[in-house]
Chain A
Amino acid sequence: MTARYGRSGRIKPQGDRVETAIWYLMRVTGLALFVLVLTHYLILHVLHEPAQQDASWIATFRWSSTFWRAYDWSMLMLVLFHAFMGMRIVVGDIVGGALRTGLLRILYALGIFLLIIGTYVVLTLPNVVPAG
């Protein structure tokens, strides 16, 4: 158990600043997502029934609140980073060489695409004022 493995016996990046930053960010985003995602699931899948959450329900109730739009957008950014950096590790563990480079490019392109469409909808979906 030398420095590379640390006292925990778990690999922590050494020397490479980008890898070290990602290692910490995975933990920071993970901790934030622990709260954000579990609360999201609790509210929308346990306290409310998903079957009732059609497009007009989202526009009228969920996203008529700036708080929930901001909540969902924060969660979107954090979860895309966490999920795509996690998949980067999975891809790196399974394939190597040119295939890894190619798959990672597709992965990053997909992540950026999802960030764009997710941000677009959270910013532009019109508020519908509930009737009555």
Chain B
Amino acid sequence: MLVRYRGGEGMLAWAFHRISGVAIWLFLVLHVIDIFLVGYAPGAYDTLLVIYATPAGIVMEWLLGAAVLYHALNGLRIIIIDGWPRLTRYHRQLWYLNWIAFALVGIPVTWVIFGQFARAMGWWPR
């Protein structure tokens, strides 16, 4: 649908913003509940942490980071455009700038999280 409907970069930026936003919201609901468990049922929290620390959990952690980073950078772009409407002409260029920043931050972070993944898989020593 996103490919056929030719809304261009603006539409993709909007769609990614919404998808990442809903995904972060889902994690937020889980995360407030898990932190509540730290006080209410610490044993249950520690059990949940073991699940978070599995290889699958670490992939989710990485995806969460990507969603947060995209949402943050694109949100900043929205704020800038709303504040200085003349920049709307360059909304595409600003979106490309988002992706450059995304890669610059994302690549080193990916390396660190890959380290957590490799240790969880037993490839690397703890």
Contacts and interface: CB of A to CB of B under 8 A. Distances in A.
A8 B81 contact: yes
Interface of A: 6-10, 12, 27, 30-31, 33-34, 37-38, 41, 45-46, 49-51, 53-56, 58-59, 76, 79-80, 83-84, 86-87, 90, 110, 114, 117-118, 120-121, 124-125
A46 B32 CA distance: 20
Nearest 4 interchain pairs by C-beta: A55-B42, A8-B85, A51-B53, A7-B85
A120 B18 contact: no
Contacts of A12: 82
Contact of A51 (B29, B85, B120): B120
Contacts of B39: 120-121, 124-125
Contacts of B65: 41, 45
Interface in B51-77: 52-53, 61, 65, 68-69, 72, 75-76
Contacts, number: 105
Interface residues of B, number: 41
Interface string B36-50: 111110110110010
Given A55-B38, A55-B42, A87 B113 contact: no
Contacts of B120: 51
A58 B53 contact: no
B88 interface: yes
B89 to A, nearest CB: 10
B86 interface: yes
